[in-house]
Chains A and B, each alone.
Chain A
Amino acid sequence: MKKQQASGYTTADGRKIGGPVMEMENITLRFGGVTAIQDISFDILEGEIRAIIGPNGAGKSSMLNVINGFYHPQDGRILYKGVERKPLKPYEIAHQGIARTFQNIALFKGMSTLDNIMTGRLTHMKSSMVSQALWWGAAEKEEVENREKVEKIIDFLEIQTIRKTPVGRLPYGLQKRVELGRALAAEPSLLLLDEPMAGMNVEEKEDMSRFILDVNDEFATTIALIEHDMGVVMDIADRVVVMDYGKKIGDGTPNEVRNNQAVIDAYLGVTHE
């Protein structure tokens, strides 16, 4: 595959895209005898919205798990912020500055929206467990600071109405928004979204697209997302990687990808003339 432009450019709407945050070089991931990802290389540039698309079973979610360090590939090299990544322990994964949302919502159903988003601040809290339990000294100050950050996110996502509502009672679209809020609360340098629009109606999709664009625009957050809805992807992504059966079959701007014959074949099947 042709190597992508390695460093920054400016998008049509005037956003500055920087150098690579994440570089994947010849990644291969196997589960026993199954090869989930085969020899894939691509990069994610600072400040861009990078989409990974592909039919069911193409290996998208595995790819996302490789990006956030949950899986370590058998072959290939991953450079995160220019440093080659070694296999990580779970707490190291949490601390590296990559936040994500899940295909199946993974919130604490019995907790309020506010508390759920507060859990996203966990890696930023430094006071000891004793101090937190006693609500004394640094813990109080820390909670106030973190609550302020969380309230800004609640304001940003326009979910003030459900601040105190247990998330289990919320409709699906709102739960997705809360999950995005929790990921944002971690102030990630890279945000991974696993099918953020799955199961949403048109209006919810529009809302979510707007929030993704706003997050990228306002906080200059780099975003990598997996999505099934081609229309949405083509609208919001700067560059798109297309996967099929664990292989990369396309990479480029939405327009380039749309006109790529291999991509069309993978999605629509090959026509017989």
Chain B
Amino acid sequence: MVTMVSSVKGNLDTIPKLVAQHINTKPDQPAYREKEFGIWQSWSWAEAGKEIENLSHGLLGLGIGVGEHVAIIGRNRPHLYWAMLAAQEIRAVPVPVYQDSVAEEIAYVLDHCEASFVFAENQEQVDKVLDVQESLPKLKGIIFLDPRGMRKYSKDGLFDYRAVQKNGENASAKIKKERHKRLTEQSAGDSCAMLYTSGTTGRPKGVVLSHNNVIKTSQASCDFDNLNSKDSVLAYLPMAWVGDFIFSIGQATWSGFCVCCPENTETMQHDLKEIGPSYFFAPPRYFEGLLTDVMIRMEDAGYFQNTLFKYFMGHAQKVGSLILDGKPVSTIDKLKYQLGRFFIYGPLLNTLGMTNIRVGYTAGEAIGPEIFNFYRSLGVNLKQLYGQTEASVFITQQPDGQVHADTVGVPSPGVELRIGENGEVFYRSPGVFVEYFKNTKSTNETKDSDGWVATGDAGFLEPESGHLRIIDRAKDVGKMKNGSLFAPKFVENKLKFYPNILEAVLFGAGKDKCVAFINIDLQAVGNWAERNNIAYSSYQELSGHPKVYGMIKEHINEVNNSLSKDKMLSGCQIARFLILHKELDADDGELTRTRKVRRRVIEDKFRELINALYDGKKEIFTKTEVAYEDGSKGSISATLKLEDAVIHDVNVSEGNAA
């Protein structure tokens, strides 16, 4: 099957060729949908093709040269995907940028990639670019999509997206010839896109992916899950993230499935329900949030509904995953499951927009086993994958029927895996990136001469199943003072599985005990407070409430208890903790734009709090600078309580018995 498909598509080695093929073979099939003005608008492959062609002619008219970078800033919209495809048609390289980045972050990326043109979705994004324009000598122009509010801007260097397309429509023969020439000269080795890593450490790096990288990976992953032109996907994750690029450009142009864009960021859940995609990706935090939401709503439901829900959910927990994996289940259980599907699972899945999901993935962070099993027991084929920008996403993924909450699956087709001496995971695949842009040093550090790439993650292959299990970031895994293993993320994930805990940061490398910062989940804890008549006026006040402290302390004690049963990690039990007075925020640099904890930044910023935890103080006054959305700065101060938790003796045998 795989070889047959490959031979048919053998000469389709660039994205523009794939697009052209869909235009020829299925011109009337929907390629893009977007909800606008309350209606799902759609574009067939032929219509999308025309839009892209006009735009690429227009871009040539603006004088964009081969290999020049074109940045794209905005939320997921068909027009911006076309901008990427149009840039590729004229052998320019699209560079999607995180739309919620502040001006300085955008300035860094635009300066580093030397972008000649920027596609900006609307006035807000145009303003950000104009703010930093002076530091960008290479920037020749900004193309804006939404003209609202743009009339008063001076016209120099500002172009209306539709006007560019209009110019492209009336393009001269010379320009048309030029596009044709560039298309013919394009090869699989050309840069397909440059994507900036979120930069958990230091400045973001520009990862250059070739057409070959993207297409080979897309082909393998489409075959793996049998994705085809009848599938559809909701494109709602940041365009700058490699996952969205591979799903909405790579896999979509390989298999020809329809890319649907929500009306705006807030309506995503509603639009998901309307579209009911068959292929879906969401980070663990999304699934967690949704589950919390369902549970809170069920608490408000009447006695009858609640009882029915609990009864059938209990049954789903027992047999749902087994039925999904095609394992044997008694006939009575099967019938009961069908009944549950009619009363509970079906309507619930419909509300969540998951009715049609054939393939669902989650990745990026560890997902709590209860959360993972909740969706699987409802019949959602939710799986895990492990990937990186440098790998064009796919390194390992879980095949249907071999799904576990604590592993990330087997190597994806075409990927070789190796575990280094220090436990670090290495891989080699057709998707391995070309280079970090203008950073040979980092390229050589990450990728060796044989093409093996260091992931920076520590993990091991489970001997029985051959599945990869990730423990932590390799450089974060350390030793405690007494020599026992320190794996912060492992512990943090255990904490984060509690709905009340949104974020946790563990410290303790080189020390004799571990301490932790906790961020409460305002939605979950707020709801709890409401039910218990606990008044609060702000996040800060709620997080400092003695009862909240008590609740979190209980969670920590439970985690300590479970850690004490793990021979390797019993040293990571949390001796003391505090609940932070502010939510960790990407705007303050504490999280990456993909919401991963920036450990070093937090460690530096809150040094005095960590020291206080180790000094055994009972409370500490602190003042923290925060950045607001509009870029202005302020500060919040609070007196934080520092609490002790219960440390358990290491007792593996007792743990096993319990």
Question: In chain B, residues 235-280, which have Cβ atoms closer than 8 Å to a Cβ of chain A?
Answer: 263-264, 266-267, 270
Bound complex: CA A160 to CA B40 (Å): 13
- Give which listed residue, B39, B148, B266, contacts A218 with CB less than 8 A: B148
- A163 and B38 form a contact (CB under 8 A): yes
CB-CB under 8 A from A158, the residues of chain B are 264
Contacts of B326 in A (CB 8 A): none
Extra A-B contacts (16), CB below 8 Å, given A160-B267, A214-B148: A14-B152, A114-B38, A147-B38, A151-B37, A151-B38, A155-B36, A155-B37, A160-B38, A160-B264, A160-B266, A161-B264, A161-B266, A217-B149, A217-B151, A217-B152, A218-B151
Chain A residues with Cβ below 8 Å from B264 are 158, 160-161
Asked if A148 CB lies within 8 Å of chain B CBs, one says yes
Q: List 28 A-B contacts (CB under 8 A).
A: A13-B152, A14-B152, A114-B38, A147-B38, A148-B37, A151-B38, A151-B39, A152-B37, A154-B37, A155-B36, A155-B37, A156-B148, A160-B38, A160-B263, A160-B264, A160-B266, A160-B267, A161-B266, A161-B267, A163-B38, A214-B148, A214-B149, A217-B149, A217-B151, A217-B152, A218-B148, A218-B149, A218-B151
Query: Could you tell me the distance between the alpha carbons of A152 and B36 in the complex, rounded to whole angstroms?
Result: 9
Contacts of B39 in A (CB 8 A): 151
A113 CB, min distance to chain B CBs, angstroms: 11
State how many angstroms separate the Cβ of A77 from the closest Cβ of chain B.
Answer: 36
Interface residues on B, range: 10 to 19
Nearest CB of chain B from residue A209's CB, rounded to whole Å: 13
Ranked 8 nearest A-B pairs via Cβ: A151-B37, A161-B266, A151-B38, A160-B263, A161-B267, A13-B152, A160-B267, A160-B264
Closest to B629 in A: A203
Interface centre among A155, A156, A158, A163 (most CB of B within 10 A): A155
Chain A residue nearest in CB terms to B266? A161
Report B's interface with A, CB cutoff 8 A: 36-39, 148-149, 151-152, 263-264, 266-267, 270
The chain B residue sitting closest to A15, CB to CB, is B152
**Residue of B37, B148, B264, B266 most packed against chain A (CB within 10 A):** B37
- Complex formed: what's the CA distance from A114 to B37 in Å? 11
A contacts with B, residue count (CB < 8 A): 17
* Cα(A214)–Cα(B148), bound, Å: 8
Which residues of chain A have C-beta atoms less than 8 A from B36's C-beta?
155
| Residues of chain A lying within 8 A (CB to CB) of residue B37 | 148, 151-152, 154-155
Residues of A participating in the B interface, judged by any CB pair closer than 8 Å:
13-14, 114, 147-148, 151-152, 154-156, 158, 160-161, 163, 214, 217-218
Q: How far is the CB of A173 from chain B (nearest CB, A)?
A: 15
Contacts known (A160-B263, A161-B264); A154 close to B38, Cβ less than 8 A: yes
Which B residues lie within 8 Å of A154 (CB)? 37-38
C-alpha spacing A148/B266, complex, angstroms: 21
Instruction: Give every chain B residue within 8 A of A155 (Cβ-Cβ).
Output: 36-37
Most buried by A among B36, B38, B264, B270: B38
Q: How far is the CB of B204 from chain A (nearest CB, A)?
A: 30
User: What are the residues of chain A within 8 A of B270 when measuring CB–CB?
Assistant: 161
- Cβ–Cβ < 8 Å partners of A214 in chain B: 148-149
A171 to chain B, nearest CB (A): 14
Q: Which residues of B contact A163 (CB under 8 A)?
A: 38
Residues of A near B267 (CB, < 8 A) are 160-161
Report Cα–Cα, A160/B37, bound state, in Å.
8
Least CB separation from A149: chain B residue:
B37
- Per the bound structure, the CA–CA distance linking A63 and B270 in Å amounts to 44
Minimum distance in angstroms from B263 CB to a CB of chain A: 5
Bound complex: CA A114 to CA B38 (Å) = 10
For the complex formed, measure the closest distance between the CB of B359 and the CB atoms of chain A, giving whole angstroms.
28
Please name all residues of chain B whose beta carbon is closer than 8 Å to the beta carbon of A156 when the two chains form the complex.
Answer: 148
Report the minimum CB–CB distance from A152 to chain B (whole Å): 6
> Distance (Å) between the CB of B246 and the closest chain A CB?
28
A155 — nearest CB in chain B belongs to which residue?
B37
A114 to B39, CA, bound (A): 13
B152: which A residues are within 8 A, CB to CB?
13-14, 217
Q: How far is the CB of B587 from chain A (nearest CB, A)?
A: 16
Nearest B residue to A152 via CB reads: B37
Residue of A114, A160, A161, A217 with highest tally of chain B CB at under 10 A = A160
Which A residue's beta carbon lies closest to that of B265? A161
A217–B270 alpha-carbon span in the complex (Å): 32
Give the complex CA separation of A59 and B217 in angstroms.
71
In the complex, what residues of B have CB within 8 A of residue A218's CB? Answer: 148-149, 151
A217 to B123, CA, bound (A): 14
Bound CA span A163–B149, Å: 23
- B243: min CB distance to chain A, Å: 25
Residues of B near A161 (CB, < 8 A) are: 264, 266-267, 270
- Measured between alpha carbons, how far is A155 from B267 in the docked complex, in Å? 12
Give the nearest-CB partner of B149 in chain A.
A214
